[in-house]
Amino acid sequence: MRRAVEAIEEQSEYERSVKAFALKVLDSCKRSGDRLTLACCLKLFIEIGIQMRYMRRFPPEARLDVLKRRGRRGVSFNMSMLERSGLPGPYKRRVLRTYLKVSSYVHPSPEAMTGDMPDDLVTEVFEVLSLLYSFRG
């Protein structure tokens, strides 16, 4: 994951800010080591990837301003960003399915209350993160 974060191209202040934030999240997650924190971190990394793909719609110099405007409305991130991310439909569906699965371990759901997140879900999240952070389409 660190390599994917470090590979974020710093085209603008937005990307520099995202990269610094993602590195903080990564370091915090590594220190914790518990499964709930892992689920929160994986969910957050999916959100970062979706937001970055969405923000590519805007010129690099406008991205941080766009995010600030969205933030004032309380929508720095929402799932509509995935729809407008530029990913082809099958990839969007895969990202959404994985996001919903990992989210179930962050919210007070039956999955979170009755068991740990399975290792194969962690693998699935990393595959989705690879797609979000490296897909050039």
What is the structure's pLDDT at 137? 45
Give whole-number Cα distances, 37 to 30, 74, 133, in Å.
9, 24, 21
The residue among 106, 82, 84 whose CA lies nearest residue 94 is: 82
Q: Enumerate residue ranges in the chain where pLDDT < 70.
A: 135-137
What is the structure's pLDDT at 133? 85
What is the structure's pLDDT at 135? 54
18: CB partners within 8 A, 6+ apart:
8, 48, 51, 52
What is the structure's pLDDT at 136? 52
What is the structure's pLDDT at 98? 97
What is the structure's pLDDT at 30? 83
